[in-house]
A and B are shown apart, each in its own frame.
Chain A
């Protein structure tokens, strides 16, 4: 009885701890939980789509619901699953890799998470309030303007909220990497995952504002009667496409660069060899990011931009193959001459190379705009971007989970279940998507609710749906593995993989201040250097002294509640002006929190030297 009460209290204490936390590790875990939840939701939507397409002229779901399904699948997977999961990893791992005790703006970090999460919840509220958005995840105007009901309004406000959160995290990571590296951690000694976090953050910073603007225009057209996309009043719907893809293409690299970073950590660790061509890898990352901003119009080859624009964007797009090729070969030669250990983390990394290469190949093929006149908006494109995003990003997330799980949770994921999940998911993935290249060329456009009989599309779609069930099974096994590991998993030492970078020098999971004494970094792969040339331990760069830490705060959550309420007000004020009260109340709450935050001095707290000495190493 009393035991249960204590447990209850302990549980609410943990809950309160997470609601008020500003610790980058806890925020990272929150991101993983939130992103993981939306990943499952998006996966469920995908499964429903594939069931609808299992046979010709199926009526499993209605046409309208199907469009809601594809819209929410795309939006959820990109904005609410892949991006936050990666940001969660960056949040947790990057400060550890550079030897920092937290990120530069812990408060903003928490706010960023809550904004993302509330945006996702808001978007999904639409399911229960008259229907989800149905104009595709790209929300092309004028379809998105004409879309009835409030679905698209939820899309606009939900993405605006989560986009603001993502932008904040981007700025936070940039400042952290620029000014919080441990002594000796020069830029060219940073692990590749940190480098890709840096470049991704730059991309986030410059790409998300374009989406913000696009969403504002859409919001004004839908809610306040402006005429940006209203042809009758001189509007132009192609502006939306430009703004969306000026954001949307860099977003692809926001997703894939951290994935590259993950593989650049895992492949060297399990090949027992340093990353081949480190500086070329860094350079290629920058080049991909730079070119990533130059190619948005390759999503618009059929819009009618004219041959000059099409040619320029075609050649620029193909050029991205060069730095990407550099990366692939560098990974191959990292393995070459190594001593390769294959476990579940490494399996995902190994599966990534051929899978992603196929996605990259079709990317170059799509870059040839004349060929693209056939591929565009067909299942070929669907196949291509799933090869890149599942074969690249999702594989990276799963690899990263197996690799860093011991660091984050102190337990090692079960190897057998890891392998079972891998093989079913991997086979299912190729089964689902490889055939779609051909479906596209056989004349099946994307976003088709039904395909007709006798069009030669039956077999391909059936195979694809079977594959989707394999992937579902793999995902379920992974979930079971997480639960099993939490209960009975093998306890992890500080460095279970014989790894190379700073995060493996501290306990699993790390103390809340990360490093008791900041480490002195002597080169690339600092831990490996100490293992091979030193005594296997980092030399401290400072004497043991008190540590300054930020205070937790509930304000980010309350502020988010304010924005969330205001968003509802914006959406429904088109029906009744009384809803403006929600707008004002919500904004007042959010701004009130901002005022409290800026007027109340918050100097944080200090962990005393004695306390640190008491803690065992």
Chain B
């Protein structure tokens, strides 16, 4: 039976190992293949601590298996009474000292990395973005640039971007596993962290603190583009004219409906910092509708018609009069042609 146990374990370990090696998860979501400064710092410590701990585990298992095999009672030993050992000072000292040393080996780099990641003294020399967490979407306001976006955060590669984060309602947590570890977004104070992406890419972000029914649907993206592309994006975004009339007639109709239904009470187009609902300036370039759906017109119409069925508990439900499918179609047409910049998620290699 013990052989069976051993085999099961070996099989289990082997399965896990294959899974681990063949798939570390999705490349723009996983924390196991870091592509940013914070994620790399974390990964270094993950590797260090894992190696030490696996070492300890191996030692424990060797003693365990030997003890079990050698000292299991055999037939005819029923009356055998083993020597009653009280303890062994040398041994006990050894397994007290060694863990202390191991703790030091893990503790020192941890403390160094902690202070490194918490160092925000140079924030003013870099790009600062004000991040607001909302049920269930993210608001990004680029300090001093007069650019406001939501859901998709554009950043230049190879540069530190400081995020000054606060929540408008409950606690959220900002997590882009491939670039950086997470930090909470609190309602009572601003938390600052910096992120730096090494490579261009569209990185998946997640909310990591339970914030209500649609907590699991509060995804966002960090879009890292080259510094030149980023500069281009900034000037494009600054040049947006919110009043610009669309070319297409359906879209024109959509714009009128957008205004007539007072959508602007919550959704700004342009650089207004107001943030009752997501800013829609570059909606046509968004990677998703509502953070989770493919950016197709059908999905957008579904969302406008009945947001509750897509994101339970969202604040848009019931905030406007009911809209016919045709009207929703026009509004979708209008919103999807809002493409103020040549720099899009495709520029980041999406």
Contact = CB atoms under 8 A, between A and B. Distances in A.
Interface in A422-453: 427, 430-431, 434-435, 438, 441-443, 445-452
Interface string B210-245: 111111110100000000000000000000000000
B49 interface: yes
A335 B60 contact: no
A99 interface: no
Nearest to B203: A443
Contacts of A340: 67-68, 71-73
B91 interface: yes
B45 interface: yes
Contacts of A450: 216-217
B212 to A, nearest CB: 7
Interface in A329-384: 329-330, 332-333, 335-342, 350, 353-354, 357-358, 361-362, 364-365, 367-374, 376-378
B39 A64 contact: no
B289 interface: no
A281 to B, nearest CB: 9
A358 B81 contact: no
Contacts of B171: 140, 142-143, 237
B25 A442 contact: yes
Contacts, number: 305
Interface stretch (A115-123, A304-312, A402-410): A304-312
B182 A441 contact: no
Interface string B76-117: 010011111111100110011001101100110011011101
A460 B20 CA distance: 10
A62 interface: yes
B145 to A, nearest CB: 25
Interface in A23-41: none
A303 interface: yes
A459 interface: yes
Contacts of A237: 171, 186-188
B57 interface: yes
A279 interface: yes
B150 to A, nearest CB: 19
Interface string A38-61: 000000000000000000000000
Contacts of B30: 441-443, 456
B292 interface: yes
Interface string A112-142: 0000000000000000000000111000101
Interface of B: 8, 12, 16, 19-20, 23-26, 29-32, 38-39, 41-43, 45-46, 49-50, 53-54, 56-57, 60-61, 63-64, 67-68, 71-73, 77, 80-88, 91-92, 95-96, 99-100, 102-103, 106-107, 110-111, 113-115, 117-118, 169-171, 173, 175, 177-178, 180-184, 186-189, 191, 204, 206-217, 219, 292, 312-313
Interface of A: 62-64, 66-67, 134-136, 140, 142-143, 146, 231, 235-238, 271-274, 276-280, 302-304, 306-307, 310-311, 314-315, 318-319, 321-322, 325-326, 328-330, 332-333, 335-342, 350, 353-354, 357-358, 361-362, 364-365, 367-374, 376-378, 427, 430-431, 434-435, 438, 441-443, 445-452, 454-457, 459-460, 532
24 contacts: A67-B212, A142-B187, A273-B85, A274-B84, A304-B184, A304-B186, A306-B118, A307-B114, A318-B107, A325-B96, A329-B63, A339-B71, A357-B56, A369-B114, A371-B110, A372-B181, A374-B46, A374-B177, A374-B182, A431-B12, A435-B16, A443-B29, A443-B30, A457-B25
